[in-house]
Chain A
């Protein structure tokens, strides 16, 4: 393909939009890490199960994928609340290695349950086949809507954490948990809300991804590694930083696919992230010293 300005522009726009959804996945991942101090690899398992849920609801033929997503989000919010209440609170005081064993194990369980329930087949939702064109750049409608909704939700989450009392209390318990307990904040309740919001954000990202990408159980592993790399690249503490990291990875993926090939693009992304971390081990937006 010839690299005309329109082709490059299209690659950038699509990359930013798809990257916004990666960013939303990464934000949910770093929200849990910030508040509960658990690296939750199972987060991507939630994304993929949300994709299947949206796929199943949509295949009923009554609801479109966006309404299906709106239906799945509150269910996942409740599941996240239960996940924290019943499971994660029990492992919170264990070592980080145990956290990884536990959440990676949960990712395996979710992946193999998906394989058992849905098989290995690659599935996809019917596309609207509608495209929007401006200035020679053509974008599939689902990608435009998905990226836009993901970016707005990320902004909404950021504003809610910055401005509301509940958001400030969640940030406070991430900043100094002992202090939060001592002054009388109900830290366990705040953690349950934070994990519920995180899992709900996984459902949103899953629903949006399902509208334009393929779906198979092992997608969970690819997304888990992608989200982990994004938050490590961004410095895991900053939610907006994680979102920005997602956008960068989306653009790199687009550029790699355009210039090389899809599989070489994945290799290229990981090589670039590795190189970035060698130069800035604290992450792109991370502070030199963790407070």
Chain B
């Protein structure tokens, strides 16, 4: 088991955002977190990444309890976050953005090798290496964000809404890339609004509703679920 989350609870001040979320993710899996706006998807991801304080529950990464570790410690263990809204470094170049994904000395030693792989995955970035990241189009910025995550050689890559704000054709390209990353053996957790894309790439999924897991199962089952449609339509 790569990641085991039990009864995760998160509060924003007096307001409880997560009421006991439990997840299990095996090595090599691709799992999606689905649900409407405010269901708790991003909160779950940020809490797991150490970016939000956890008020209850346990998180085990590779058999170690990690629920109170900081983001940089988790990243060093191989849990890498591709955040919502991309969060690039706009006044640094594309190449610098990618290099900064190498958050551990070990990944820095192998950065040239990893960079070649990332540029193969995103050939469009090859000619833009010296360009400032803030001047790229939305689709290219998303490529940099995913590429930056891959530079850290993740054991678990957690993507938060990678399709946000992208044109449909670019959303297809992003998910085609995720399929390739998964085929290389990287474990993926993806929070997504485009359910059909998410269901195509991921084998399993969890549906969040009001800070709880409302449903879980294979994507084939979830695809037929009325409840999933209800969660998205807010009915």
Contact = CB atoms under 8 A, between A and B. Distances in A.
Contacts of B101: 183
A189 B91 CA distance: 21
Given A168-B100, A182-B81, A183-B83, A176 B51 contact: no
Interface in A170-227: 171-172, 175-176, 178-187, 189
Interface residues on B, range: 20 to 34
A169 B108 CA distance: 12
Contacts of B90: 175-176, 291
Interface string B60-103: 00000000001110111000110100011111100011011111
B162 interface: no
Nearest to B49: A182
B93 to A, nearest CB: 9
Given A182-B51, A182-B71, A183-B80, A291 B102 contact: no
A185 B99 contact: no
B152 interface: yes
Contacts of A179: 83, 87-89
B91 A291 contact: yes
Contacts, number: 73
A165 interface: yes
B205 interface: no
A168 B99 contact: yes
Name the residue in A175, A180, A184, A187 with the highest tally of chain B Cβ atoms < 10 Å from its Cβ.
A184
Nearest to B86: A179
Given A171-B92, A172-B92, A175-B92, A183 B134 contact: no
A261 B183 CA distance: 75
Interface of A: 165, 168-169, 171-172, 175-176, 178-187, 189, 291
